[in-house]
């Protein structure tokens, strides 16, 4: 009986939630793939559901993945994990920010692009009026609604395309900030633990 207890005590503990190991790595890879698919399959305007997806993926990463202990050297396992972790977080941040970037001039000015998109919306109003000119005498309210709808969709699609082109820059910026922050924090913690050990 004592031998069985000793064998149980020597068994390695299983990797649990929030601990670095194969399940956590697979989880981060899955999150990264989900983010890539979300980004690749996004059609037309960025909707608020994309922000929900991005925030959910970030919550999964922060809850179930921990970087390995800090180690010096650019070729260490820590740096490799940090790069992958930062890039996935940056991608999720970009997806979460996409609807806000598209709609908020204060966060993503794009002065020339926004005015060009508004001009495209005006053109779409005229095109809709021309194509539905026979409705003008019958139902002017329906014609005005169709013009507004087509103009709104044209402006939203124009802004969405521009936002998508700029998202990699925002994602890369977020990845750099996350990477530097995590590296500084883990390095400081490793030094504190080393000081306490000595």
Of the segments 132-136, 143-147, 149-153, which one has the largest average pLDDT value?
Answer: 149-153
Buried b (16+ CB within 10 A) or exposed e, 164-184: beebeebbeebbeebbeebbe
pLDDT at 175: 94
pTM value is: 0.70
Residue 137 predicted with pLDDT over 70 = no
pLDDT at 78: 87
pLDDT tens-digit readout, 50-80 = 888 888 888 888 887 888 888 887 778 888 8
For the chain, give the mean pLDDT.
76
pLDDT tens-digit readout, 74-116 = 778 888 889 988 988 998 898 888 888 888 877 776 767 777 7
pLDDT tens-digit readout, 14-58 = 444 444 455 556 566 666 666 666 666 566 678 888 888 888 888
DSSP assignment of the chain, as one string? Answer: -HHHHHHHHHSPPPP-TTS-SHHHHHHHHHHHHHHHHHHHH--SSPPHHHHHHHHHHHHHHHHH--PPPP--STTSHHHHHHHHHHHHHHHHHHHHHHHHHHH-TTTS--HHHHHHHHHHHHHHHHHHHHHTGGGTTT-HHHHHHHHHHHHHHHHHHHHHHHHHHHHHHHHHHHHHHHHHHHHHHHHHHHHHHHHHH-
């Amino acid at each position: 009986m004592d031998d069985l207890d000793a064998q149980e005590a020597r068994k390695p503990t299983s990797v649990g939630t929030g601990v670095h190991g194969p399940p956590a790595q697979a989880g981060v890879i899955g999150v990264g793939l989900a983010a890539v698919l979300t980004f690749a399959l996004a059609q037309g305007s960025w909707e608020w559901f994309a922000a929900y997806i991005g925030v959910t993926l970030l919550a999964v990463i922060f809850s179930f993945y921990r970087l390995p202990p800090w180690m010096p050297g650019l070729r260490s396992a820590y740096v490799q994990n940090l790069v992958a972790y930062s890039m996935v977080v940056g991608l999720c941040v970009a997806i979460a920010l996409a609807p806000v970037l598209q709609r908020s001039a204060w966060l993503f000015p794009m002065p020339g692009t926004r005015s060009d998109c508004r001009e495209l919306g005006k053109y779409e109003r005229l095109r809709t009026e021309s194509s539905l000119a026979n409705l003008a005498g019958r139902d002017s309210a329906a014609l005005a609604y169709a013009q507004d709808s087509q103009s709104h969709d044209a402006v939203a699609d124009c802004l969405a395309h521009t936002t998508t082109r700029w998202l990699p820059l925002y994602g890369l910026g977020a990845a750099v900030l996350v990477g530097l922050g995590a590296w500084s924090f883990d390095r400081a913690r490793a030094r504190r633990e080393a000081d306490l050990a000595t």
